[in-house]
Amino acid sequence: MKTTTIKAFGTEAANKPLHEMKIQRRELQPHDVSIEMLYCGICHSDLHQVKDDFGGSSFPMVPGHEMVGRVVAVGNHVTKFKIGDLAGVGCIVDSCRHCEYCEESLEMFCKGEVLCFNSPDKYLGGSTYGGFSESIVTDENYVLHIPKTLDLAAAAPLLCAGITVYSPFKHWDIKAGKKVGVLGIGGLGHLAIKIAKAMGAYVVVFTTSQSKVEDAKRLGADEAVLSSDAEQRGKHADSLNLILDTVSANHDVNTYLNLLRADGSVVLIVLPTEPIPIGAFNVVKGRRSFSGSNIGGIAETQEMLDFCAKHSITADIELIKMHDVNEAFERLEKGDVKYRFVIDMASLKSN
């Protein structure tokens, strides 16, 4: 298969910094679109994969799965996009297309799911490469339309962080009259506050940081609770319909299970490196549950983007240049960002 050589930023090993490299993109297939990269968000999952925190990372690796760009070429059977369209690519770039999950637009559960990086590349062999690159070639069925009203740089994190919080809110039917807890205010948590409020929920934030107690109100939270204050937490006992858990560090989930109403759920949307103990009484009492959720399907991701455009929701970002990505990873590991790094991909071309 013919290929095109482009610039990218990646690494050959978990213990090496990211640097400029050359990668190959496939020639356009009939249903492919080629997207010039404009902005790419940096997610904690990028850091986990680069550091091989869970094992199974393949190298060389080019991370990045929160991509916003412009369509520059289309295959001869493409019907959903035209040259010049604003387009986004998230975590999923292919799936089997015929299993029960694909037929229900739940591609994230498909056993044949192909991720935008660190997945087997059925076209070129080796592994797929992500958004820290000049461009990407992707099947039109896994590409999103980016609403023109959104700030493009601040919209990039919606392609992972946005759908990761939106999907469980939809699944658990969050709306006016529901009370939602958000545990942790970071890249995920700050978007969870904005989206839950736009859905009409009453939002209570739990954070270990006094400074973020104040910032939670700016983001739209109705109340903010210092997690270490048992008295403040106790005021919300047996009252929350759902708590979205965005904390990767070790923490006692049982404390928050006891804040749920009957049939409520604590929903984990991150990947802690250590097991999380659950006390049986905390779930049996009140038929409460401890659940998980992982991104969302392509159709739901488009729904989320349109919802965010309607309600003027984007991420709070720090825009960086490509050569600052290693420093950004170090700061991300320390939690030193409010609230999402986004790379201006024009800086890759100028390197």
The domain of 143 spans 3-159+315-350
Give the burial string for 95-133 (b: 16+ CB within 10 Å, else e): beeebebbeeebbbebeebbbbbbbebebeeebbbbbbb
What is the distance between the terminal CA atoms of the chain, rounded to a whole angstrom? 29
**Contacts of residue 152, Cβ cutoff 8 Å, sequence gap at least 6:** 38, 39, 68, 86, 146
DSSP string, 39-51: EEEE-HHHHHHHH
Kindly state whether residues 154 and 165 are assigned to the same domain.
Answer: no
Task: Quote the CA–CA distance of 116 and 130 in Å, as a whole number.
Answer: 5
**pLDDT value of residue 211:** 85
Number of domains the chain is built from = 2
Q: For residues 238-248, b (16+ Cβ closer than 10 Å) or e, as one string?
A: eebbbbbbbbb
Report if residue 306 sits inside a domain.
no
Q: Do 130 and 11 sit in the same domain of this protein? A: yes
Residue 228: CB atoms within 10 A of its CB come to: 11
Q: Are residues 155 and 20 in the same domain?
A: yes
DSSP state of 283: H
Tell whether 300 is covered by a domain.
no
Q: Is residue 339 part of a domain?
A: yes
Both 142 and 183 in one domain: the answer is no
Q: Is residue 274 part of a domain?
A: yes
Consecutive 10-residue averages of pLDDT for the chain (351 residues): 95 95 97 98 94 91 98 98 98 98 97 96 96 98 98 98 98 98 96 98 94 92 93 94 94 95 97 90 96 97 98 98 97 92 93 61
The answer on 131 and 89 residing in a single domain is yes
Helix, strand, coil fractions of the chain, as percent rounded to 5:
30, 30, 40
Q: Is residue 76 part of a domain?
A: yes
Angle at 82 between CA 79 and CA 84, to 5 degrees: 165
Cβ atoms 139, 94 nearer than 8 A: yes
How does pLDDT run across 206-253, given as a tens digit for each residue? 998 888 898 999 999 999 999 989 999 999 999 999 999 999 888 999
CATH of the domain at 52: 3.90.180.10
Residue 187 domain-assigned (yes or no): yes
Q: How far apart are CA 89 and CA 238, in angstroms?
A: 39
Q: Are residues 34 and 84 in the same domain?
A: yes
**Residue 159 has what pLDDT?**
98
Mapped onto helix, strand or coil, the DSSP state of residue 332 is helix
* Last residue in a domain, options 292, 307, 329: 292
Residues 241 and 131 in one domain: no
Question: What per-residue confidence (pLDDT) applies to 274?
Answer: 86
Both 152 and 263 in one domain: the answer is no
In a domain, 275, yes or no: yes
Calpha distance 106→62 (Å, rounded): 26
Residues 166 and 30 in one domain: no
Q: Are residues 269 and 146 part of one domain?
A: no
Q: Looking at the structure, do residues 275 and 320 belong to the same domain, yes or no?
A: no
Mapping DSSP to helix (H, G, I), strand (E, B) and coil, where does residue 54 land? coil
| Contact between 265 and 172 (Cβ < 8 Å) | yes
Give the β-pairing of 144-145 and 3-10. Answer: unpaired
Question: Is residue 262 domain-shared with residue 203, that is, in the same domain?
Answer: yes
The three-class DSSP label of residue 65 is coil
Phi, psi (rounded to 5 degrees) for 306: -65, -40
Residue 305 belongs to some domain of the structure: no
Looking at residue 351, its pLDDT comes to 61
CATH of the domain at 283: 3.40.50.720
